[in-house]
């Protein structure tokens, strides 16, 4: 019974964090047509910056997360302004730049703080008891809550506000949008900042749940891509479903399948879905 509950909750926790990362990846892709392979590295950087604020500057955990989100958001905007904007419309060079970014960020983390075992101080340590026997870690729950809250906020931002409408406009047709007087670059910058910020928050939250390491981004990047592909490019609702699918695969399958078998299953699913519905489960047919 408690095993079941814990597993289900954990599935939701993982899902919410995956979605947080994937959302940023999808955002950049749909607004800028850039496959930002460095998204995982940014997530990793977020975790480290958060650790930095939390320990070196002794900020309270929640403040550390906020600050790291801010730092990374600014970093993202700078990236957009001074790098991706220059390489615009050159797919190969954009891709290469993202890869270079991975190398740089990972090495930077490695040589600065990387070598010591560390963990982001958790926002809310301790356990809560549900009923008699079922215990759960508060930080996982809180991580999930924060993630869901952010997801709602971003969804509202995209669906309801003017900025969101402009973003969707740019995503649909860049040129038409700029003809309608939308400052495409500004939108791209904001999207990049937002995406980096979300990744940073995810990093901070995950960094308190598990231990930090400089290659934690690689796995998360693949997860994000899996989510986006299963959902279909530029489908927010889809992300929710695909996130839950992958989250539960990761939370449940390892219990039954030894070693890395669960990964094989997850990727096989992604391949099959791609082959059957290239535009993803919820993407509009092209």
Partner 1 sequence: MRTKKVVSGVAIFLALALLAVPSMVSAQKAPQTLKIGVHAALTGFASAAEIHQRDGVLLTVDYVNQKGGVTVKGEKYLLEAVVEDNKSTAEGSKAAAEKLVYDHKVKFILGATIPYINIAAGQVTEPAKVIRLLNYMCDTPEEMNTKTPYTFLTGPAIRAGIGPSMDYMTQKFPHVKTYSMITPQDGAEGILGALCEKEAAKRGLKQTIVVAWPHDTTDFYPKVTQALSTKPDAILLVNGYEQATGPIIKAAREMGFKGPAAMANYDDPYDIATLAGKEFTAPFWTHGWSRDVNDPQLTPDMKEVIKRAQAKFGKFHQWNLWGWNEVNMVVQVLQKAQSFDTAVLADTFRKMNKIETVWGPGHMGGEKTYGVKNVVCSRVAITEVLPDGSVKHVKWIDYDIP
Partner 2 sequence: MNDREKGNGQVIGRYGVVAVVAAFLLLLPWLPKVGPYFLHVCILILTYIIATSSLRTIYVSGQASVGHAAFMGIGAYTSAILSMRLGWSPWLTILIGAAGTTIVATLSGYLFSRLRAIYFSMVTLFFGVAVEALMRSWVSLTGGRSGLVGFPGIGVLSVPGIGEINFAASKTPYYYLMLLLTFFTLLVLYRIERSRTGMNWMAIAQSPLVASSIGISETKFRMLAFGVGCFFAGLAGACYGHYSGVLSSSSFSLMPSIYLVIYMLLGGMSHFAGPVIGVVVLVAIPEIFRSLKEYAPFVFGVIMLLVIFLMPQGLAGLMQSGKVWYEKTFRRGAL
* Residue 112 interacts with partner 2 (CB under 8 A): yes or no: no
Which phi-psi region, left, alpha or beta, contains residue 131 (left: φ > 0; alpha: ψ -120 to 50)? left
* Residue 37 interacts with partner 2 (CB under 8 A): yes or no: yes
| Residue placing its CB nearer to partner 1 in the complex, 209 or 241 | 209
Binds partner 2 by CB under 8 A, chosen from 16, 137, 226, 235? 226
**Shortest Cβ distance from residue 194 to partner 1 (Å)?**
24
Q: 128: part of which helix (H) or strand (E)?
A: strand 127-130
DSSP code of residue 137: E
**Shortest Cβ distance from residue 56 to partner 1 (Å)?**
13
**Shortest Cβ distance from residue 60 to partner 2 (Å)?**
32
- Locus of tokens 């969804």: 155
* Residue 156 interacts with partner 2 (CB under 8 A): yes or no: no
Question: Could you tell me if 266 and 246 are in contact, meaning their C-beta atoms sit under 8 angstroms apart?
Answer: yes
Residue 74 touches which of partner 2, partner 1, none (Cβ within 5-8 Å per kind): none
* Residue 284 interacts with partner 2 (CB under 8 A): yes or no: no
Residue 35 touches which of partner 1, partner 2, none (Cβ within 5-8 Å per kind): partner 2
Q: For residues 33 and 233, give the distance between their C-alpha atoms in angstroms, rounded to a whole number.
A: 10
- Which among 127, 141, 128, 131 has a CA at the least distance from the CA of 1? 131
| Residue placing its CB nearer to partner 2 in the complex, 35 or 124 | 35
| Residue placing its CB nearer to partner 2 in the complex, 157 or 252 | 252
Q: For residues 264 and 261, give the distance between their C-alpha atoms in angstroms, rounded to a whole number.
A: 5
Q: 58: part of which helix (H) or strand (E)?
A: none
Q: Which two tokens stand for residue 42?
A: 């940014």
Q: Which two tokens stand for residue 175?
A: 């040129």
Site residues, partner 1 (CB under 8 A): 2-3, 6-7, 10, 14, 107, 110, 114-119, 122, 125-127, 133-137, 140, 206, 209-211, 213, 215-216, 219-220, 250-255, 258-260, 263
């Amino acid at each position: 019974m408690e095993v079941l509950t814990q597993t289900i909750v954990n599935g939701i926790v993982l899902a919410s964090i995956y979605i947080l990362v994937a959302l940023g990846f999808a955002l950049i892709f749909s607004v800028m047509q850039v496959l930002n392979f460095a998204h995982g590295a940014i997530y990793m950087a977020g975790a480290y910056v958060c650790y930095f604020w939390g320990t070196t500057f002794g900020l309270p955990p929640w403040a550390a997360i906020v600050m790291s989100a801010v730092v990374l958001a600014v970093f993202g905007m700078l990236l957009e302004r001074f790098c991706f904007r220059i390489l615009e419309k050159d797919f190969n060079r954009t891709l290469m730049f993202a890869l270079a970014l991975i190398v740089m960020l990972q090495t930077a983390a490695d040589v600065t703080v990387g070598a010591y075992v560390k963990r982001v101080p958790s926002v809310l340590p301790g356990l809560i008891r549900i009923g008699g026997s079922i215990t759960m870690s508060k930080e996982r729950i809180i991580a999930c809550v924060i993630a869901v809250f952010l997801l709602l906020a971003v969804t509202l931002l995209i669906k309801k506000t003017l900025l969101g409408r402009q973003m969707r406009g740019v995503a649909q047709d860049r040129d038409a949008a700029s003809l309608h007087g939308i400052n495409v670059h500004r939108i791209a910058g904001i999207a990049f900042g937002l995406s980096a910020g979300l990744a940073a928050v995810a990093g901070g939250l995950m960094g308190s749940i598990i231990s930090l390491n400089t290659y934690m981004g690689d796995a998360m990047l693949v997860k994000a891509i899996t989510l986006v592909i299963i959902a279909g490019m530029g489908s927010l609702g889809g992300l929710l479903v695909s996130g839950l699918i992958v989250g539960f695969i990761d939370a449940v399958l390892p219990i039954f399948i030894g070693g890395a078998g669960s990964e094989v299953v997850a990727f096989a699913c992604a391949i099959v879905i791609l082959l059957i519905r290239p535009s993803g489960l919820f993407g509009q047919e092209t």
